[in-house]
């Protein structure tokens, strides 16, 4: 299967994340699965006229296109022309190329939240009028209409994340190569369920603090960050703490709150990322399936039962009180 990877309006962070794939590296992994990277702007040797000629062969149907990967949002400005972002050397905008190539592809994959929903590229006043491939924020219909389906029958597959986990990208491509990714394997926002059926909260190293509502008050502290520091890991889609980056890293493991970067419009929460908005003292960012009255009752009981070890460690920058060794019986 042939893959064409184009970078649109974004920072290139998803490619940088993809290059962190290890054992094996991403190119070896794809090759072993029979996936051939026709062209990637950062990884391929072909440039200039060679790359332009390849694009022409794909557009004419001479070179088959099995998977079209787009990284970054697509700029539609000014006034719907897309000429804020031209694909160098071709005389055509990225918007024009996308609309020409997407119907030819067996599958279309949006790599990262910018390509999926607009992401950071569309934040603020969005002067370039950027949007995701098939979503504009949380609303269906971005660059491509909601009813768009690639040749194999799937909508745009949104491998959302900022940046997206390298394994999410590689696993999606491997499933497509094996013919094992169907409509039922995508969630309501067309994100692959193998990671979208998990929450960032699952496997978080701060879960014991969460259970007792032992909260951090500053970023350098060890406690749960939901109550005061804006963490929304209990609502955010992703298995980041089940299979962390390079086997060890995630936002919450590094002491930073989850900002739900796999979700539409995460980039504009209308408050500081490290601030938990509250109403009558109740955090707004509760799990979506938890009634507020239950949370208040649970929080009161949990705080009353919090072991001193957790109370002290929650507001420390390192473990100050170790778990007590279990005493032998008799």
Average pLDDT, the chain: 92
Average pLDDT over residues 103-114: 98
List, for residues 52-92, the tens digit of each pLDDT value. Answer: 999 999 999 999 999 999 999 999 999 999 999 999 889 99
Per-residue model confidence (pLDDT) at position 285 = 63
Average pLDDT over residues 307-324: 93
Does 2-194 carry CATH code 3.40.50.700? Answer: yes
Judge whether residue 292 has pLDDT over 80: no
Per-residue model confidence (pLDDT) at position 22 = 76
The verdict on whether residue 20 carries a ligand-binding annotation is no
Looking at per-residue confidence, does 220 or 70 come out higher? 70
Q: Give Cβ neighbours of residue 270 (< 8 Å, ≥ 6 apart).
A: none
Average pLDDT over residues 295-309: 82
Per-residue model confidence (pLDDT) at position 203 = 94
Give dist(CA 293, CA 282) in Å, integer.
Answer: 10
Closest by Cα among 20, 119, 135, 18 to 72: 119
Count helices and strands in the chain by DSSP H and E runs? 10, 13
Per-residue model confidence (pLDDT) at position 304 = 83
List, for residues 165-205, the tens digit of each pLDDT value. Answer: 999 999 999 999 999 999 999 999 999 999 999 999 999 99
Per-residue model confidence (pLDDT) at position 6 = 97
Which residue intervals of 6-64 are DSSP H helices?
Answer: 13-18, 26-32, 49-60
The string of DSSP letters for 77-141 reads: -STT--TTSEETTTTEEHHHHHHHHGGG-SEEEEESHHHHH-GGGG-TT-TT-EE-SSEETTEE-
CA 287 to chain centroid, in Å, comes to: 19
Q: Are 206 and 252 in contact (CB under 8 A)?
A: yes
Average pLDDT over residues 43-49: 90
- Would residue 190 be called left, alpha or beta, if left means φ above 0 and alpha means ψ between -120 and 50 degrees? left
Judge whether residue 148 has pLDDT over 90: yes
Q: What percent of the chain has pLDDT over 90?
A: 78
Judge whether residue 281 has pLDDT over 80: no
Judge whether residue 282 has pLDDT over 90: no
Give dist(CA 206, CA 326) in Å, integer.
Answer: 22
For the chain, which residues make up each domain, given as ranges? 2-194, 198-318
Tokens describing residue 278: 């509250």
Q: What is the dihedral of CA 70, 262, 245, 72, to 10 degrees?
A: 20
The string of DSSP letters for 194-227 reads: HHHTSBTTTT-TTHHHHHTT-B-SSTTS-SBSTT
The verdict on whether residue 23 carries a ligand-binding annotation is no
Per-residue model confidence (pLDDT) at position 23 = 78
Spell out the CATH class of 198-318: few secondary structures
2-194 matches 198-318 in fold: no
CA neighbours closer than 13 Å in the CB half-sphere of residue 254: 11
Judge whether residue 123 has pLDDT over 80: yes
Judge whether residue 11 has pLDDT over 70: yes
Give dist(CA 190, CA 171) in Å, integer.
Answer: 15
Per-residue model confidence (pLDDT) at position 286 = 66
| Peptide bond between residue 138 and the one before it cis (omega within 30 degrees of 0) | no
The verdict on whether residue 251 carries a ligand-binding annotation is no
């Amino acid at each position: 299967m042939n893959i064409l990877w184009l970078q649109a309006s974004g920072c290139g962070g998803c490619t940088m994340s993809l290059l962190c794939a290890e054992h094996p590296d991403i190119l070896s992994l794809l090759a072993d699965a029979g996936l051939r990277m026709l062209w990637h702007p950062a990884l391929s040797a072909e440039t200039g006229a060679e790359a332009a000629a390849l694009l022409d062969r794909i557009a004419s149907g001479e070179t088959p296109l099995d998977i079209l990967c787009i990284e970054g949002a697509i700029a539609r400005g000014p006034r719907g022309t897309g000429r804020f972002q031209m694909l160098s050397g071709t005389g055509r905008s990225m918007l024009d190329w996308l609309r020409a190539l997407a119907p030819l592809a067996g599958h279309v994959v949006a790599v990262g939240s910018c390509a999926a929903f607009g992401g950071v590229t569309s934040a603020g006043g969005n002067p370039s009028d950027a949007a995701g491939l098939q979503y504009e924020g949380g609303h269906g219909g971005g660059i491509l209409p909601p009813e768009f389906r690639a040749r194999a029958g799937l909508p745009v597959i949104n491998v959302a994340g900022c940046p997206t986990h390298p394994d999410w990208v590689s696993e999606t491509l491997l499933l497509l190569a094996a013919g094992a990714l169907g409509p039922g394997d995508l969630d309501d926002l067309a994100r692959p369920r193998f990671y979208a059926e998990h929450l960032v909260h699952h496997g978080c190293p701060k879960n014991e603090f969460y259970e007792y509502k032992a909260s951090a008050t500053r970023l350098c502290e060890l406690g749960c960050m939901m109550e005061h520091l804006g963490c929304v890991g209990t609502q955010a889609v992703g298995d980041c703490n089940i299979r962390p980056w390079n086997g060890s890293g995630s936002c919450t493991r590094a002491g930073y709150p989850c900002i739900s970067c796999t979700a539409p419009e995460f980039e504009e929460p209308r408050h500081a990322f490290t601030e938990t908005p509250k109403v009558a003292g109740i955090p707004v960012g509760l799990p979506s399936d938890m009634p507020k009255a239950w949370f208040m009752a649970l929080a009161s009981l949990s705080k009353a039962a919090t072991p001193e070890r957790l109370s002290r460690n929650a507001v420390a920058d390192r473990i100050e009180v170790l778990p007590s060794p279990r005493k032998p019986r008799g």
